[in-house]
Amino acid sequence: MAQDTARGLIQQHPLQRVSSPSRGASALLHSFALASFAYSFAYLVRNPNPINESYGWHMQYLTIIGLSLATATFAIGLLADITLSPTLFKVKNTLSVASAPMECLISLLYWSLRAIDVKLVLPDWAPPLPLSADLSFHAVPSLTLVIDLLYFSPPYTIAFLPALALSGCIAFGYWFWIERCYQVNNFYPYPLFEILNTPQRIGLFATSAFLMTLATSTLIWLYGFVNGKEARETGTDNVTKKVRSGNVKGE
């Protein structure tokens, strides 16, 4: 047992604060988040509306797409905790590179637009969301993913241009998807899209891609602020060597 613990500490990235994968705090965080996500999906089923019967279901909403990706991230994370699998841990960290910035973007856009006018994000026929559901959809995913990154994961090493490319693929992939849904349903999931014309929607998605990239850069900076920069060590040949950087797979 002592040897297994020591081996785990050696394999853990030097900047990672809390042991993960583990059946302790890491598993508790992932379990709590998954319980909240399950509540969100159950809310959609128990409170049906016209979206339930339309083409694309609730996956027309960026919120639900992000929630699905966050669920996959933490489901794999919990499996890694239970099995102590380094491979599943790497998969969880790889998914986090997309899911954490995406959820930060969703929270930023939703709460900002809601503060301006709730009718920009909720159609007239939609009843107000209770606070518990609103937080479960639009706050808990981003908060738990950020906590997971800062305390239970190695640092991101994705560069700005790859992050921008990833964000652009997600943003414009979503645009093509909702246009497909519009062709069938003849309405957009968010009222804001009805207000904007096509060039304005392109501008909105381009801005969203940039904001998601900015979120990735901010998370990288925040990780360094909370956990410090990569340490340096001096080898036996008195040459200063940089400690091997962790990558997005958690190595």
Q: What is the CA radius of gyration of the chain?
A: 20
Record the tokens describing residue 230, joined without a space. 């990569």
Residues in the chain: 251
Residue 32 lies in a domain: yes
Asked if the structure places residue 152 within a domain, the reply is: yes
User: pLDDT band at residue 11, thresholds of 50, 70 and 90?
Assistant: low
Which is more confident, 49 or 3?
Answer: 49
Condensed to tens digits (0 to 9), the pLDDT of residues 206-243 reads 999 999 999 999 999 999 999 987 754 434 444 333 43
> How many domains is the chain partitioned into structurally?
1
pLDDT tens-digit readout, 13-65 = 888 889 999 999 999 999 999 999 999 999 999 999 999 999 999 999 999 99
Considering the domain boundaries, does residue 246 fall inside one? Answer: no
Q: What is the pLDDT of residue 231?
A: 55
Containing domain of residue 182, as a range?
A: 20-232
Closest by alpha carbon to 109, among 142, 147, 144?
A: 142
Closest among 129, 148, 141 to 62, alpha carbons compared: 141
Over 70: is that where the pLDDT of 248 sits? no
User: Does residue 72 lie in a domain region?
Assistant: yes
Residue indicated by tokens 């979120």: 215
Q: Once rounded to an integer, what is the mean pLDDT over residues 76-89?
A: 97
Residue 246 has pLDDT above 80, yes or no: no
Relative to beta strand 232-234, strand 240-242 is: antiparallel
Question: Is 237 among the domain residues?
Answer: no
Task: Please compute the mean of the pLDDT values over residues 83-103 and round it to a whole number.
Answer: 97
> Considering the domain boundaries, does residue 9 fall inside one?
no
Asked if residue 172 is part of any domain, the answer here is: yes
What's the pLDDT score for residue 12? 78
Mean pLDDT of 187-199: 94
Asked whether the predicted pLDDT for residue 5 surpasses 50, the reply is no
pLDDT per position as a tens digit, 131-176 = 999 999 999 999 999 999 999 999 998 999 999 999 999 999 999 9
Position 115 in a domain: yes
Would the pLDDT of 126 be above 90? Answer: no
